[in-house]
Amino acid sequence: MIKAGLIGLGKMGISHCAILNAHPNVDLVGVCDSSKFILSALEKHGSMKCFTDYKQMIRQSDLDCIFIAAPTRFHAEMVCHSLEKGLHVFVEKPFCLKIDEGRKMVDLAIKHNKVNQVGYHNRFIATFNEAKRIINEGIIGEIYHVLGEAYGPVVLKEKGSTWRSHKSEGGGCLYDYASHVINLIQFIVGAPQHVAGTVLKSIYSQDVDDAVYTTLLYKNGISGQLSVNWSDEAYRKMSTQITVLGKDGKVIVDATECKIYLRRENKSEGFEKGWNIRYITDLTDSVDFYLRGEEYSAQIDHFIACLLERKTENVSSFASAFETDSVVEMLVADNSSRI
């Protein structure tokens, strides 16, 4: 059994807590949060040991690994401390707020040879993996453009009071929503080298952006656009879509379906000329325990499998999330260069 600890019992933390606690190969020995309220519910009705000081939890629990779902501004300190104590680390996205800290965490994980993963769960959705495969195998030909979009109804009023509404704490659509899309674009076609015409727009929020629009530029001539808005009430929940255009066709992919348009029939793949659709139901493997999407269980399964197999290569490594942070930083710089 892998002994795990968990820091942070917000929305993602509680979700990780349930998945870890139900995991056949994991013994969730300790959980930690600064809020006594949630902790006391777990203490009273659950069976985990609860802490308010994560260092104390690490000291007293003989952990193999740690899951960090605390607010982003605490990531660097918690990740470094955990790595130095010899733990494998899973940390929520976004990875961190300062590039220097990100680099330090990547280096430290390599130095200590520990499994390192960031919670970009879209990388574990079968449709996005299918799109990546189709593009990598050259089925739509040479890629020339990518469009990444995400819309959802998070901030719909002028007033907000949680950490999401504070820039200094990693709030805002850029860190919270757009980072997912940037990370996915990177996963499917790679990271851009430059960005231009970035607009970080506040719609309802005072301190942070609610929408992110930008142009992505690649060295090899690929171009891209990013359009992300978390203040769009027309969506019931976050909807993410990536469109990739190639010389022989295009792929439009979201969490439920992967649509492929081909200019010519592809017999070996079973694709016809014109539109083809691959549905999530045909592509997804079932998980041992399901909470709110196969991907949330699958990413934890992957982390645990890496640990058991002693391999530090990872589908969503610190290094890949650091690359996303670097693009985020380019966007911030590009936006402020015009202000």
Binding site for another protein (CB under 8 A): 10-11, 14-15, 17-19, 21-22, 35, 37-38, 40-42, 44-48, 153-155, 157, 160-162, 164, 234, 236-237, 239, 241, 254-257, 279-282, 284, 286-292
Q: Which is nearer to another protein, 295 or 334 (CB)?
A: 295
Q: Which is nearer to another protein, 177 or 318 (CB)?
A: 177
* Least gap, CB of 84 to another protein (angstroms): 30
Q: Judge whether 331 and 198 are in contact, CB under 8 Å.
A: yes
* Least gap, CB of 176 to another protein (angstroms): 9
Q: Which is nearer to another protein, 101 or 295 (CB)?
A: 295
Enter the DSSP assignment of 74: G
Q: Which is nearer to another protein, 18 or 217 (CB)?
A: 18
Residue with tokens 């982390």: 303
* Least gap, CB of 209 to another protein (angstroms): 16
Phi, psi dihedral angles at 131 (to 5 degrees) = -60, -45
* Least gap, CB of 178 to another protein (angstroms): 16
* Least gap, CB of 198 to another protein (angstroms): 25
Q: Judge whether 7 and 69 are in contact, CB under 8 Å.
A: yes
**CA dihedral of 335, 198, 258, 315, whole degrees rounded to 10:** -40
Q: Which is nearer to another protein, 98 or 292 (CB)?
A: 292
Enter the DSSP assignment of 92: P
* Least gap, CB of 297 to another protein (angstroms): 8
The amino acid at residue 45 is: H
Query: Residue 259's closest CA among 230, 283, 236, 290?
Result: 283
* Least gap, CB of 8 to another protein (angstroms): 12
* Least gap, CB of 9 to another protein (angstroms): 9
Q: Which is nearer to another protein, 11 or 267 (CB)?
A: 11
64 contacts: CB under 8 Å, gap ≥ 6: 2, 3, 4, 87, 88, 307
DSSP annotation string for 120-179: -GGGG-HHHHHHHHHHHTTTT-SEEEEEEEEE-BS--SS---SGGG-GGGT-SHIIIIIH
* Least gap, CB of 184 to another protein (angstroms): 15
Rounded distance, CA 156 to CA 233, Å?
A: 7
Q: Which is nearer to another protein, 42 or 78 (CB)?
A: 42
Coil/strand/helix, residue 40? helix
Q: Which is nearer to another protein, 65 or 252 (CB)?
A: 252
Rounded distance, CA 188 to CA 123, Å?
A: 9
Query: Residue 303's closest CA among 88, 110, 128?
Result: 88
Q: Which is nearer to another protein, 130 or 334 (CB)?
A: 130
User: For 334-339, which contacts have Cβ atoms below 8 Å and span 24 or more sequence positions?
Assistant: 334/195, 334/196, 334/197, 334/198, 334/214, 335/198, 335/199, 335/200
